[in-house]
C-alpha cells in the first residue's frame, strides 16, 4: 500500500557513450575509471537525475572532479524516484531517510552485479526454455531496456531462432535484496519469490480466466529451480503443478522468475494512459468491469485461513506462509520488527488486525525518526490505542472466522496492461497476494491519482465519484458480493496497511465520525498514557534517537553514499 507511486521506474535517456565492463573480475583501476566516467549510467534508468554531481569540463577540455566545497545545506541528493531532495526536506520526511538515501548506491551495485552476470542469466533462461543448439538467447546489456520497479529488477532476454514460439524475448525478474529486508531478515527475498511463484501456479490451475503472463520457470537461492515440462503431468498426484525441480549451477545467490514479456502489441501499461484517459467514463467502465471480474474470480474459492501460498522443499504447494502484505517487508527492510514470523497463519480476522496494529507500535519504538516531537509522539500513541478500541465498530462480527478470500493486493496501474479501450490484457505482478478478510476488499485508492492519506477536500470528492462508478459496476457483476462501505471501514483497513499514513487517515476520516469537534491536546493527554506502561519513557528515548538520526542524515549530505564498487576503486 505504501509507495504506490514508486511501483515501477521506466527506462529513461542515458549517456550516449557506451558502458564497457572488463570481463571476469573487475580490475580496480578499470573499475575506478569506468565508475568515475559512468557513475550516472545505472542510476539514471528512470527519470531522476544522478545522485553524484556530474564531472565538469575544464577550459582545456579534460574532465575533472568539481573542486567547489558545498555545505550540507547546499547539497542535494536523490531518491530512487523524484528528487533532488535537500537536507531540510530529508529531515522533514516521515520515512527513515538513512535507508532511502542509500538506495541509489545500492541499486548501482546491484546493476553492476547483474551486468557482469548477463551470460549466466542467458544460460539459465536457455535451460528453462529448453533451447536447441541453434537457438540462442542473450540478456540485453543495454540498461535502457532494464526495468527497475519498487521490489524487482527485470531484464529482457532475447531469443534467436526460437522455432516453437513467435516471441522474441522473455523477462527474467530478480527481487531487489535492498528493498525487501534481506539484510535485516535473511530469507525475505526467497519468501517473496516463493509466494509469488506459487500464486502463478495457483492461478494457472484455478483461475485461467485471469490474464497473467506465462511463467517459464523460477528458481530459489541455493540452486533449486523449477522447469515447465510436460513430464510434470506424470507426477501430478504428488506435485499438483506443471513444473519439475532440477538443480542449477549458476546464479546460486539469487532467485528469479522467468516470464512472458508483454509486448506493446499485446497491451500497454495502464499507468501510461491513466492521466489522459481517466476522465473518459467509457474507458473507466471497461477497466472497472475487468477489474471487478478478476477480484470476483479470485473470491470464488473460499479460504479458511488468512495466509499466503508457498512451496515446500519437495515442491508441494501449501497455504502455510504468513499473509505477506507489502508493508510488512517494507517495515522489516527498515529494521522494524513486525512480530509476524513466516509460518504464522490466522484463523480469525481480529487476531490478524491486532498484529497489524502491533506493527505500528513497533514502528514507534524502532524507527529512529518515528516521532517529530513530544506532542506528536503522544498523539500517535493515542490514535493507535483508540484504533484498537474501534476495531469492533469497523469490522464485521459474523465474518470474523471467515471465509476469507484470496486477493491480489498489488493491483496498481503499473501492474495492469490494457488495450486501447482499457480492457485488461495482463496482470503482471502477483507479489503480495494473500487470503484476507472479505471486508478488506475495497476500491483501489490509486484511482484518485494521489496517496491514500492525501484524499481530502477536492481530491476526496473526485475519488468518491470514481469510486461510486467502480462500485456500481462491481455490484452489477456480482450483486451478492457485499463489501463493507459507509461506516468508514475502508479507511480503517487502509490505515492498518499504511505505516506512515496511519496518523493522517485516522484524524481525517475516522475521528470526525465520533467527535467532529475534538480538542487534540485534551484527547492526547487523556488517552496516550494507556498506550503502554512505558509510554513516557518511549517518547523520551525517541526524542534522543531523533537527535542522533538527524545528525546521521546531515553526515550523509556531507558525505553522500557511494556504491561499494566505487568505494573499493577509490581506495585503490
For residue 84, whether the previous peptide bond is cis, meaning omega lies within 30 degrees of 0, is yes
pLDDT at 59: 35
**pLDDT of 38:** 44
Q: For 63-146, where are the alpha helices, taking DSSP H only?
A: 87-92, 97-100, 103-116, 118-129
Nearest to 45, CA basis, from 143, 185, 139, 179: 143
**CB burial of residue 293 (10 Å; 0-12, 13-18, 19+):** middle
The pLDDT profile of the chain, 572 residues, written as one tens digit per residue, is 444 334 333 333 223 223 333 333 334 344 344 444 344 344 444 333 333 333 333 333 344 444 445 566 668 898 887 778 999 999 999 999 999 999 999 999 999 999 999 999 999 999 999 999 899 999 999 999 999 989 999 999 999 998 878 778 999 999 999 999 999 999 999 999 999 999 999 999 889 999 999 999 999 999 999 998 754 444 443 445 688 899 999 999 999 999 999 999 999 999 999 888 988 989 999 999 999 999 999 988 889 999 999 999 888 999 999 999 999 999 999 999 999 999 999 999 999 999 999 999 999 999 999 999 999 999 999 999 999 999 989 888 888 998 899 999 988 899 999 999 999 999 998 999 999 998 888 888 788 777 777 777 888 888 888 888 888 888 888 765 444 333 457 889 989 998 888 988 888 888 888 887 767 778 888 899 999 999 999 999 999 999 999 999 999 999 988 755 554 544 44
Res 339: pLDDT? 97
The count of other CB atoms within 10 Å of the CB of residue 520 is 12
392-393-399 Cα angle (round to 5):
60
Q: DSSP per residue over 320-380, as a string?
A: EE----HHHHHHHHTT------TT--BSSHHHHHHHHHHHHHHHHHHSTTS-SSHHHHHHH
Question: Which residue stretches of 138-242 are H helix?
Answer: 188-206
Measured CA to CA, the distance from residue 298 to residue 209 in angstroms comes to: 10
Classify residue 237 as left (phi > 0), alpha (psi -120 to 50) or beta. alpha
Q: Compute the distance between CA of residue 1 and CA of residue 4 in angstroms, rounded to an integer.
A: 6
Domains by residue range for the chain, with CATH: 81-179+214-260 (no CATH), 264-558 (3.90.1200)
The confidence score (pLDDT) of residue 71 equals 60
- Specify the DSSP class assigned to residue 496: H
Other Cβ atoms within 10 Å of 109 Cβ, number = 17
Rounded-to-integer distance, Cα 459 and Cα 510, Å: 17
Amino acid at each position: 500500500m505504501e509507495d504506490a507511486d514508486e511501483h515501477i521506474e521506466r527506462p529513461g535517456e542515458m549517456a550516449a557513450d557506451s558502458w564497457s565492463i572488463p570481463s571476469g573480475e573487475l580490475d580496480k583501476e578499470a573499475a575506478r575509471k569506468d565508475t568515475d566516467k559512468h557513475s550516472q549510467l545505472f542510476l539514471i534508468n528512470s527519470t531522476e537525475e544522478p545522485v553524484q554531481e556530474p564531472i565538469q569540463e575544464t577550459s582545456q577540455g579534460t574532465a575533472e572532479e568539481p573542486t567547489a566545497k558545498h555545505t550540507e545545506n547546499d547539497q542535494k541528493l536523490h531518491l530512487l524516484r523524484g528528487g533532488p531532495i535537500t537536507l531540510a526536506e530529508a529531515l522533514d520526511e516521515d520515512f527513515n531517510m538513512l535507508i532511502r538515501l542509500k538506495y541509489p548506491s545500492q541499486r548501482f551495485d546491484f546493476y553492476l552485479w547483474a551486468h557482469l552476470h548477463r551470460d549466466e542469466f542467458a544460460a539459465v533462461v536457455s535451460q528453462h526454455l529448453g533451447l536447441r543448439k541453434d537457438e540462442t538467447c542473450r540478456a540485453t546489456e543495454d540498461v535502457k531496456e532494464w526495468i527497475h520497479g519498487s521490489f524487482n529488477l527485470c531484464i529482457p532476454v532475447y531469443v534467436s531462432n526460437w522455432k516453437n514460439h513467435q516471441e522474441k524475448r522473455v523477462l527474467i525478474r530478480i527481487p531487489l535484496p535492498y528493498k525487501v529486508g534481506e539484510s535485516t531478515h535473511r530469507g525475505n527475498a526467497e519468501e517473496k519469490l516463493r509466494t509469488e511463484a506459487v500464486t502463478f501456479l495457483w492461478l494457472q490451475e484455478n483461475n485461467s480466466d485471469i490474464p497473467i503472463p506465462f511463467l517459464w520457470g523460477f528458481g530459489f537461492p541455493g540452486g533449486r529451480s523449477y522447469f515447465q515440462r510436460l513430464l510434470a503431468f506424470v507426477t501430478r498426484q504428488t506435485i499438483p503443478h506443471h513444473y519439475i525441480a532440477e538443480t542449477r549451477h549458476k546464479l546460486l545467490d539469487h532467485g528469479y522468475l522467468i516470464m512472458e514479456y508483454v509486448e506493446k502489441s499485446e497491451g500497454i501499461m495502464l499507468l501510461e494512459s491513466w492521466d489522459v484517459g481517466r476522465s473518459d467514463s467509457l474507458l473507466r467502465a471497461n477497466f472497472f468491469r475487468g477489474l471487478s471480474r478478476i477480484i470476483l474470480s479470485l473470491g470464488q474459492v473460499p479460504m479458511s485461513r488468512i495466509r499466503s501460498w508457498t512451496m515446500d522443499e519437495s515442491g508441494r504447494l501449501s497455504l502455510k506462509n504468513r499473509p505477506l502484505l507489502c508493508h510488512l517487508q517494507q517495515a522489516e527492510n527498515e529494521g522494524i520488527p513486525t512480530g509476524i514470523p513466516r509460518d504464522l497463519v490466522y484463523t480469525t480476522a481480529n487476531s490478524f488486525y491486532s498484529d497489524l496494529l502491533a506493527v505500528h507500535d513497533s514502528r514507534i519504538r524502532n524507527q529512529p525518526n518515528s516521532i517529530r516531537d513530544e506532542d506528536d509522539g503522544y498523539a500517535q500513541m493515542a490514535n493507535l490505542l483508540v484504533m484498537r478500541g474501534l476495531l469492533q465498530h469497523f469490522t464485521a462480527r459474523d465474518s470474523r472466522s471467515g471465509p476469507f478470500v484470496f486477493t491480489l493486493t498489488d493491483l496498481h496501474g503499473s501492474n495492469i496492461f490494457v488495450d486501447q479501450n482499457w480492457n485488461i490484457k495482463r496482470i503482471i505482478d502477483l507479489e503480495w497476494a494473500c487470503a484476507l478478510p472479505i471486508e478488506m476488499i475495497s476500491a483501489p485508492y490509486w484511482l484518485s491519482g494521489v496517496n491514500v492519506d492525501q484524499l481530502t477536500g477536492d481530491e476526496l470528492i473526485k475519488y468518491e465519484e470514481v469510486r461510486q462508478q467502480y462500485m456500481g459496476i462491481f455490484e452489477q457483476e456480482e450483486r451478492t458480493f457485499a463489501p463493507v462501505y459507509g461506516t468508514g471501514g475502508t479507511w480503517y483497513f487502509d490505515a492498518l496497511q499504511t505505516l506512515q499514513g496511519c496518523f493522517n487517515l485516522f484524524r481525517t476520516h475516522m475521528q470526525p465520525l465520533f467527535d467532529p469537534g475534538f480538542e487534540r491536546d485534551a484527547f492526547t493527554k487523556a488517552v496516550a498514557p494507556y498506550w503502554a506502561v512505558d509510554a513516557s519513557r518511549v517518547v523520551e528515548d525517541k526524542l534522543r534517537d531523533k537527535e542522533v538520526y538527524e545528525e546521521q542524515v546531515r553526515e550523509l549530505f556531507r558525505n553522500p553514499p557511494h556504491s561499494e564498487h566505487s568505494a573499493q576503486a577509490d581506495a585503490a
